[in-house]
Structure 1
Amino acid sequence: MKRVYSVDVAIIGAGTAGMGAYREALKYTDNILLIEGEQFGTTCARVGCMPSKLLIAPAEARHNAEKFSAFGLLGHVPKVDGKALLQRVRDERDRFVGFVKEAVDGFRDEHRIMAKATFIDDNTLALSNGDQVKAKRIIIAVGSRPNVPKMFDAAGDRLITNDDVFYWNDLPKSIAVFGAGVIGLELGQALHRLGVRVHIFGRDNITGPLTDPKVSQYAYSTIGKELPFHGNAKISRIEKHNEQVAITFQSHAESEIVTEHFDYLLAATGRRSNIDKLDIENTTLTLDHLGIPVFDRLSMQCGDSHIFLAGDVNNDIPLLHEAADEGRLAGENAGRFPNVFKRARKTSLGIAFTSPQIAVVGKSFNELTSQSVPFSIGEVSFEDQGRSRVMLVNKGLMRLYGNSESGELLGAEMIGPEHEHLAHLLAWCIQLRMSVADILQMPFYHPVIEEGLRSGLRDLLQQMGMGPQPPLHCIDCGPGA
């Protein structure tokens, strides 16, 4: 017999956003249903940020061995045992997923149900097991999936997504990576450093999350010196050829048309919202051109309705920490509805764990130029930065943006060594609304990579007309700073 649940809050999706929403909504009501359609375990833990870093770590360790001779060390680059390497990736991945499952198992049984949900109307959900849910408030947190362009179908069973990589039992000999965003760059470079023949195919010479033309070009050139990186290749044909995929392309306008064969074609061309699986058109919500409900990112509320949107499903900022924040915000507002409050969002922070690392913090170059904000740009190269040269990681360019009227730091785009740490420092400074002059009063040790940041900030201060021309190789910085 069909069961009809009557709840205060229904949460569709038990990933990072859904779990955060559940914990927050539980503070306001005990009448909750958490609905998961496939499997418990977040995208990050199962096929995203954690398993990708498990692949990057051995790739970096092996790549570092290639520098032995430059340090005056004698040794050999280690051979790769693909089966053992990927076994560790899967084992550790399963361990991370296990932590998520333990968390979900800690939720009360009567609050959880395994079924797929679709909308019948604004307050009614149909479940794939035949049951129905009547909900006063609904949180949509169904996440996203890999976006695979139709043209890739020609690759047949040679076509894979990044989700598939982490279920491999061994490394392939070759792979064509389509997409030069964060996923494509991270996986492409890691596989290359593990001995796989890799070509990366991008579009419009876009490199990762970068929007600053100067930093983007530097990143494109730097990565392109390590492995074949076709930033704007013209693809004329993709076809399966025996147990490989044949790709015919022209790398740039002056080059010849060539055909390369690979074991796989990896589609790393972004992700798409799972909203299209919910029959969202059965609601009265206003949808945008992608079919996603229009929502307020400061409250996660869709219009003035009782429905909230959180996590990757909203196609806003597909990052774990953002999904967690959005889930908590949606859960709070769904719990206290109709008293919906807005909350200030944290400073934007995005990092690609390539080598050198790529990061965008605060306002991007594109955001600032499109908003006509009066800003100046400070710049620093890490090619001659002391600590970076000592460690033979002296590749990098940082561009910092400051308000030329208030002196406030607004944002930065960068590629360079250990820049995941510099990006965090800058994000904290931006969130505290610190001026460039105030940041320069903070302590800088010697010799550290952070001294390069100080050089960039000094240049920015001068560019804003708020400080003198920075001294060349200033003595207070220490030699080689």
Structure 2
Amino acid sequence: MQEVTFEITGMTCDHCAASIEKRFAEVDGMIGKRVSYQEGQGHFTFDPSKLSKETIINTINKGNYRAVGEVESTNRSASSNQYDLIIIGGGSAAFSAAIQANELKLNTLLINGGLPLGGTCVNVGCVPSKHLIRAAEQVHRAAHSPFRGIAGAMPVLDYQTIIRQKKELVSELQQKKYGDIAKRLEFVKVLKGWATFLDPKTVQVGEQNYTAIKFLIATGATTNIPDIEGLEEVGYLTNESLFEQEVQPQSLTIFGAGYIALEIAQAFHRLGSKVRIIHRSERILRSQMADLTDELTHYLQEEGIEIITNVKVDKVERSDSDIQIFGKDADGKTVQFTENGQLAVATGIRPNTFQLGIENTGLELDKKGFIKVDIRQQTNVPHIYAAGDCADTPAFVYTAAKEGKHAVSNAFTGQVMEADYSSLSWVVFTDPQVAGAGMDESEAEAKEIPFETTSLPLSEVPRSQAALDTRGFIKLIRNPETDQLLGARILAPEGGELVTALSLAIKYKIPVSELADHLHPYLTLSEGIKLAAITFEKDVAELSCCAG
């Protein structure tokens, strides 16, 4: 026999409580039940060999009633290894889920192995990379002045101190945003260790087994290491190790040309490293259109970054103090490069679904190993959910957080909460930045949606003219039949600050004509949105500065 108490929301009178009790009249294994509208709780005594808490919750969760969390279980001791929810992971998705579970008063176990609490973003991803990007930008701006009356000067650079300040920032945020918050989560226990599924409802950590009604896998992703002969023997860096070493690489060859590779390349070049990019595809940022990638390539090369595309590296070997890199070009000819510094790998990500015992769960994975989920973050195994970079959804820290919260709500409240990615905005933190929202013209064409585009060079934006920095453009894609904005692509210094407004315009179907007519402050970069919208109908070169 076991007793359990749930808080129940949605009751408005004693009749509601009686209605919930009646639902259990014929439920096998239910020994006793008492639901109180005044207390807002339901108390149940049951035979756990015949009836599960999950069935009790599902029986309550009909109509407007919700069992929002377990309050008390008289047969569960403090050392019990049975939980309402087990979260595997310690990053953005996991913590968002833990906070939501705590609000629902779910007895929750969060199991984290690998990186410290906070996962990739705060420890080895977003926070350290953006810190170094800003530091590098400071160096670059000091040395390169576009104003005739201001001479550029190379500042004194202490790389070790930069990295140590980065480490202090990471440590501070890791503690403040994760460690301290974990201590305040009354219903969440944090366990350090690697979780392995023994079966769909049991995980093992060390010598202990843990069971739960529901599971959330939020284990994130890590760098995908390509199959290159000699790579392990020669040695290589990833974002995890590159951001940690306190000795600056004098020379660096980066495999890959996605957003992580480009951000690393420009930051370290501006800090003084000699940087080369080798990429197997025809263009950098290969998922984006050529107008954007070609112009960004020009700016990066203009700064002095060597970019080599259409080369598949198949072998590396050490020769004295150098590293020899061998590959094939687009014609199949052998090419060779010499690197007298270090190698860095930034060739995409792979999900952290290894060492989880996934084969013991029956979970479906896609061809790259990501966990397949539906709009509720639910897998093909109904009581297992997945969120964040380990799932087959967009891999961003902010999408991961939303997915983690939604997964817990969907699993325990009976609500259907889903993320809408049709207007999703994103940023690549190069300089100029690359930003986008919604679809581009190739995606509109694939979906057979009528579209037209306009592209406004920043040379037509007063803010950019005044700053003497007209690199880039603002491109809008609209449906000419409805005047609805379908998508946007931006290449601009601080272009990421524009993209949320365009994402909202897509989401809430604001006509492009409204963007063109809206009052934007003069001499702001956001005025470029207005001017780009105007160019669907007019030539902005024929307008005065503030004309609409």
TM-score (norm 1): 0.90
CA distance in 1: counterparts of 2:438 and 2:280, whole angstroms:
25
Establish whether residue 326 from structure 1 lines up as the match of residue 395 from structure 2.
Answer: no
Distance 1:334 1:180 in 2: 38
Residue in structure 2 matched with residue 293 of structure 1 by the alignment: 371
For the 8 Å contact 1:230–1:251, the answer to whether it is kept is no
1:469 aligned to which of 538, 541, 548: 538
**1:365–1:216 Cα change, 3 Å:** farther
Q: Does residue 1:196 correspond to 2:265, yes or no? A: no
2:423 corresponds to 1:345:
no
Residue 216 of structure 2 is aligned to residue 139 of structure 1:
yes
Q: Deviations over 1:131-172 (max 9, x none)?
A: 111211111111111111120643635311111112111211
Aligned with 1:25 (options 101, 121, 127): 101
Cα 1:350–1:153, aligned 2, differ >3 Å: closer, same or farther? farther
Amino acid in the other structure paired with 1:123: K
What residue in structure 1 maps to residue 443 of structure 2?
367
| 1:190-248 Cα distance to aligned partner (Å, 9 max, x none) | 10011100001223233337522222222222222221111323536421233442224
The one-letter code sitting in structure 1 at the alignment partner of 2:543 is: C
Pick which of 248-257 and 279-288 moved more.
248-257
Deviation per CA, 1:322-355, whole angstroms, max 9, x where unpaired? 111001001111222xx35143425311101100
Q: In structure 2, what is the Cα distance between the partners aligned to 1:163 and 1:145?
A: 9
Structure 1 residue 113 corresponds to structure 2 residue 182: no
Could you tell me whether the CA contact under 8 Å between 1:348 and 1:363 is conserved in 2? Answer: no
User: Is the contact between residue 102 and residue 186 of structure 2 (CA under 8 Å) also seen in structure 1?
Assistant: no
State which structure, 1 or 2, has the greater radius of gyration over its C-alpha atoms.
2
36-45 or 305-314, larger mean C-alpha shift: 36-45
Out of 386, 390, 395, the residue aligned to residue 466 of structure 2 is 390
Please list every run of 5 or more consecutive structure 1 residues that lacks an aligned counterpart in the other structure: 463-467
- Partners of 1:137 and 1:236 in 2: how far apart? 44
2: CA distance, partners of 1:440 / 1:432: 16
Q: Tell me if structure 1 keeps the 8 A contact 2:84–2:214.
A: yes
Within 5 Å, give how 1:381-460 maps onto structure 2.
381-459=457-535
**1:56 aligned partner:** 133
Contact 1:33 1:112 survives alignment (8 Å): yes
Further displaced range: 166-175 or 79-88? 79-88
Which range is displaced more, 434-443 or 235-244?
Answer: 235-244
2:326–2:334: 8 Å Cα contact kept in structure 1?
no
Distance 1:232 1:384, change over 3 A: farther
Match of 1:44 among 121, 125, 130: 121
1-side partners of 2:330 and 2:139: how far apart? 31
Amino acid at match of 2:122: A
1:173 corresponds to which of 250, 257, 260: 250
Residue 66 of structure 1 pairs with residue 143 of structure 2: yes
Q: Which amino acid is the alignment partner of residue 246 of structure 2?
A: N
Structure 2 partner of 1:96: 173
Structure 2 contact 388–404 (Cα < 8 Å) conserved? yes
Deviations 1:426-445 (A, max 9, x none): 11222222110112222122
- Identity between Structure 1 and Structure 2 (%): 27
Matched residue of 1:160: which SS? Answer: coil
Query: Which of structures 1 and 2 has the larger relative contact order (alpha carbons within 8 angstroms, sep 6+)?
Result: 1
Are 1:380 and 2:380 an aligned pair? Answer: no
Helix, strand or coil at the partner of 1:54: helix
Identify the residue that residue 208 of structure 1 maps to in structure 2.
Answer: 285
State how 1:227-238 maps to structure 2 within 5 Å.
227-235=305-313, 237-238=315-316
Residue of 271, 284, 291 corresponding to 2:362:
284
Q: Taking structure 1 as reference, are residues 407 and 87 closer, same or farther at Cα in structure 2, changes over 3 Å only? A: same
Return the alpha-carbon distance in structure 2 between the equivalents of residues 107 and 163 of structure 1.
29
Partner amino acid, structure 2, of 1:472: A
SS where residue 157 of structure 2 aligns? coil
User: Which one-letter code corresponds to 2:541 in the other structure?
Assistant: L
Is the 8 Å Cα contact of residues 365 and 413 (structure 1) preserved in structure 2?
A: no
SS at match of 2:435: strand
Aligned length: 466
TM-score, normalised by the number of residues in structure 2: 0.79
Q: 2:203 is matched with which residue?
A: 125
Letter in 2 for 1:343: E
Q: Quick one: structure 1 residues 190 and 293, their matched pair in 2 at CA, closer, same or farther if it must change by over 3 Å?
A: closer
Relative to 1, partners in 2 of residues 1:401 and 1:69: Cα closer, same or farther, differing over 3 Å? closer
